Amino acid sequence: MTSTEIPSGFHKAIRWYPPAYDIRVDEVPVPRIQHPDDVIVKVKLAALCGSDLHIYRGHGGINSVHVCGHEFIGEVVALGESYGSDAQGRPALYSSLKVGDKVVSPFTVNCGECHVCRLGYTGRCLDGGLFGSPALDGGQAQYVRVPKAGGTLFNLSNPSTWSSALPEETKKNALLNIADSSLLMLADILPTGVFAALQAINHPKVAPVITGKPWPHCFSKDDVLGNEVSFTESDRILTVAVIGLGPVGVCATVSMLDVLATRKIPFQLVAIDPVESRREKMKAVYNTIDVEGKGTGDFAVLAIDEAKAKIGEWTAGVGATAVLEVVGNTSAINLAYEVVRAFGVIVSVGVHGEPPLPMSGRQLYNKNISLDFGRCPSRAMFPPAFDLLVKRQDVFGGIGEPASLVDRIVDFSQAADIYRAFEKNQIGKVIFDPWK
């Protein structure tokens, strides 16, 4: 396949105009292959995401018109010259990706071949880039160019190109039966939620609770006991707080519940948000999950003050072992600091703006806090996120239900209104169909 197969002419794209709050649907030239590793994807669905609001509001000093959106699913319509059966020693898709394959993209480009990508830190690939930014047109369009697509894309038409803990049959059936609107959650919100949960659960500060061995023996393979006094049952309870119950916060909570249930870890989990409608969504999601998926632990959805009291009550004033901060602002980080225990971990996956962190070095010292910040390496998280998506179709399968993360699917003509309403918190997650 070569660039000769690229559709020509113009296509529709949602574009942002400076300085802020200006969204238009424009007819612009269809993107072309610019580099042999490029692929052109015909977008089937593209989602609107909370982090799109940073640019929408004019934060971050961006002042050039560009195509919005970093969450999309679609079909390959053109491949650069790097693709073919002789692409030796490169990511599998350079050999196997074909025109017509269904693909979902992570929100960032990642080559899949450099040191950073090989370690699994794909969100920070040196050749990377964020879709829907001035540097790289986004997916809220009829077509999108995907650089380094052999390392970036996830080929839903060829399940042999990724590993899964699911039985082969389950995986195949999933690909036949799961709706595109559900698979689209792989682009960002689900891997980011899984990432937040896994970062916390795998953090060294959490290890004593999980292994039942005190610091520093929690990492030793033999049965050395570090203390004269052995652990009590309550020492083995993992207390987790999730701050912010937008779609990513819900995904993080569901992921955390799944990890805790799968590993049979006793827990206390509180999901926190000041907005009642978000708490109601979280409760509906929790009620939808089957008994097995809920694990053996206490679960609460609370507003801020009630949550503080609950954590105090659960832990006799010690605080949460781990806090997942899924908002990305000063008050959320302040709350995380307040409720985390000494020797606790704060995992922050929200996109933070310019304001400096509200706590001092002294405060961090006084609580021995670990801060684990930053963007999810979503391509690296796709395999576990895909498995969870399949397992939790009760939550991730619907649209517009009380427990659904997606509110509705709309056409491009409503783009400006939808952005406006989304920014004002009047609607939940929305998906655009560029062909409607």
Give me the phi and psi of 235, to 5 degrees please. Answer: -65, -20
**What's the min distance (Å) between Cβ of 231 and Zn ion?**
40
What the block records as the tokens of 134 is 């001035």
Binding of Zn ion by 153 (CB under 5 A): no
CB of 209 to Zn ion, least distance (A): 31
Distance of CA 144 to the CA centre of its chain: 21
Distances (CA, A) of 329 to 89, 116, 358, 361: 42, 28, 10, 18
Using rule CB under 5 A, residue 117 touches Zn ion: yes
Between 49 and 346, name the residue whose CB sits nearer to Zn ion. Answer: 49
String marking each residue 54-93 x if it binds Zn ion according to CB under 5 A: ----------------------------------------
Residues 123-142 that bind Zn ion (CB under 5 A): 125
Shortest gap between Cβ of 127 and Zn ion (angstroms)? 5
CB-nearer residue toward Zn ion: 97 or 114: 114
Nearer to Zn ion, 188 or 407 (CB): 188
**Chain residue at closest Cβ approach to Zn ion:** 49
Pattern 175-214, binding to Zn ion, x per CB under 5 A? -------------x--------------------------
Integer Cα distance of 31 and 131 in angstroms: 13
Q: Decide if residue 49 touches Zn ion (CB under 5 A).
A: yes
Burial of 100 (0-12, 13-18, 19+ CB in 10 A): exposed
Residue 111 makes contact with Zn ion by CB under 5 A: yes
**Cα distances (Å, whole numbers) of residue 101 to 73, 111, 262:** 11, 19, 33
User: Which tokens is 389 given?
Assistant: 């998506």
Q: Please tell me whether residue 114 binds Zn ion under the rule CB under 5 A.
A: yes
Widest distance between CA atoms in the chain:
75
Pattern 355-384, Zn ion, x by CB under 5 A: ------------------------------
Measured in degrees and rounded to the nearest 5, phi and psi for residue 71 equal -125, 110
**∠ CA 208-372-116, rounded to 5°:** 110
Residues that bind Zn ion (CB under 5 A): 49, 51, 111, 114, 117, 125, 188
